[in-house]
Amino acid sequence: MKKYILKNNFLYYFYKKIKILRNSKKNFHLGEFGEDIFVRRFFKSLNDGFYVDVGCYHPVKGSLTNYLHSKGWTGINIDLSQVSVDLFNLTRPKDINVRAAISDFNGETEYYENGPINQQNSLDGKVGNKIKIKSYKINDLLEEYKIEKFDYLNIDAEGHDFKAISNFNFSKYSPSLISIEFNSFDLDHLIESNIHKLLKDNQYFLASKFGVTCMYVNNKLKDKMQSLISI
């Protein structure tokens, strides 16, 4: 049929018009670098998963889990800001929404607050008001809320990312996809980093990098990548 259409000038004209129109639709994205498009494609066939979002910030703006939530996923969202957590409580009442710091120790700590809800709020910041907050190792927080398995882990901890994931129990939880922020555009710097070495040593490979967000996929899915991210 296609060969016939290509040979018929009248039909071929409409064929070309349809091809252009079908591919003119813009890709909608919320992530700063469009990284949520990768997440959306990766999990396109999974409608009832579970996410863990560390440094969740906002349920829509910049969110890498918003689309998953709209599909029916649930998860646990963690942030330093009480306002952020309140926004998640309002828009995602079925999720677990927690105000806490994720680091390499349990106990009380302080973070630098640039605003009640601000992407620059950070444990490693130098500017802003010092605010006390409870810190957890990620495994201990997950155990406290009885999280046994999940599909997607996102860590956006504003420079504190390695400490946030440093004690993660990869063998127990083994999510299919881990996205983590690495604040450099230099790939050589990334490959030499503690984050990359930790993920690689725990059987994850770097599948893509969008701006400062790195996408690591579980090695068990390496042979399925083409179908996972296909349009």
Report whether pLDDT(12) > 60: no
Q: What is the pLDDT of residues 21-56, one digit of tens each?
A: 665 566 677 888 889 999 999 999 999 999 999 999
**pLDDT the model gives residue 160:** 93
Report whether pLDDT(112) > 90: no
Kindly state the average pLDDT of the residues 10-27: 64
Report whether pLDDT(1) > 90: no
Half-sphere exposure of 68 (CA within 13 A, CB side): 30
Q: Among candidates 54, 52, 63, 65, which has minimal Cα distance to 101?
A: 54
Report whether pLDDT(114) > 90: no
In sequence order, what E strands does 23-62 have?
Answer: 50-54
Q: Among candidates 176, 196, 201, 219, which has minimal Cα distance to 43?
A: 176
Report CA Rg, the chain: 20
**pLDDT the model gives residue 195:** 98
Confidence tier at 109 by pLDDT (50, 70, 90): very high
* Least confident stretch, 16-30, 35-49, 60-74, 80-94: 16-30
Report whether pLDDT(217) > 70: yes
In the three-class reduction of DSSP (H, G, I as helix; E, B as strand; rest coil), residue 92 is classed as: coil
Determine what percent of the chain is predicted with pLDDT higher than 70: 87
Domains of the chain: 2-228 (3.40.50.150)
**pLDDT the model gives residue 6:** 54
Q: What is the pLDDT of residues 150-193, one digit of tens each?
A: 999 999 998 899 999 999 999 999 999 999 999 889 899 999 99
